[in-house]
C-alpha cells in the first residue's frame, strides 16, 4: 500500500475517533507508530475457528462479518 493511501486511512480513522471523543496529537502519533494499515481481499478469513486473535482491526472501508460458534448447542 502506498504512503498516501495509508495516510488517508489514518485520517479517516482519526476523524471517526474524534467524532466520538477528542484524540490528542500524541495519541495519534503513537497509534501511527504502533499500527499498520492492511488491505484484505473480499471473503478473507482473518481468524480460524478455535484460534484467538492478538490483533485489533479497525475497518476504514468496506465491511466484515462475524460468526460465533456455540459448541453447547451442537447436535
Residues 22-49 pLDDT 10s: 999 999 999 999 998 899 999 999 888 8
pTM of the model: 0.64
Query: How many domains does the chain divide into?
Result: 1
- In sequence order, what are the residues at sequence separation of 6 or more whose Cβ sits closer than 8 angstroms to the Cβ of residue 46? 40, 53, 55, 57, 64
What is the chain's mean pLDDT, rounded?
Answer: 86
Domain that holds residue 49: 3-73
Percent of the chain with pLDDT over 70: 91
Amino acid at each position: 500500500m502506498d504512503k498516501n493511501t495509508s495516510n488517508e486511512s489514518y485520517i479517516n480513522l482519526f476523524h471517526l475517533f474524534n467524532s466520538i471523543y477528542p484524540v490528542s496529537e500524541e495519541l495519534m502519533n503513537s497509534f501511527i507508530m504502533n499500527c499498520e494499515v492492511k488491505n484484505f481481499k473480499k471473503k478473507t478469513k482473518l481468524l480460524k475457528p478455535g484460534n484467538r486473535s492478538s490483533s485489533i482491526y479497525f475497518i476504514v472501508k468496506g465491511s466484515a462479518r462475524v460468526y460465533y460458534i456455540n459448541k453447547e448447542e451442537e447436535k
